[in-house]
Amino acid sequence: MLFAAQKYIEKDVCIGFFAKNSDGISVAPESQNATTWCAIGAIYKAVRCTPVAKQIHLDIRKKIRYTAIRVLNNAAFSLDHFENASCLNDQKPELVPELYSQAIEAAHDLGL
């Protein structure tokens, strides 16, 4: 799911909300009007809207979402400099793509 979520944060990352529309107004992460997502909002979008995810039972999707967020969180706190962790609370949105790369690598190493 992290790999699927990564595509939502490649161009831009929003701050303050899970997702925003083109006018900068908060919308649900799975909204068709969403144009930018935060680090966590991108996971919500991927878990709810990707074709593969839609075929998975809702309870399993919740577990996948929880695991993806934990891996992302762990990656944030295991990076060399602690300030990278601040991208999870919208203080450093420019670091989110790097964080995703680290989390995907960690998930791969863990066999997830």
DSSP assignments along 51-105, one per residue: HHHHTS-HHHHHHHHHHHHHHHHHHHHHSSSGGGGGGGGTS-GGGHHHHHHHHHH
Determine the pLDDT at residue 7: 92
Assess contact for 14 and 20: CB atoms under 8 A. Answer: yes
Segment 95-104 mean pLDDT: 83
Q: Is the pLDDT of residue 81 over 50?
A: no
Tokens of 49: 């809207």
pTM (2 d.p.) = 0.80
- Residue-wise pLDDT tens digits, 23-67: 999 999 999 999 999 988 999 999 988 887 778 888 888 888 888
The rounded distance, in Å, linking the Cα atoms of 55 and 40 is 21
Residue 112 or 86, more confident: 112
Assess contact for 44 and 61: CB atoms under 8 A. Answer: no
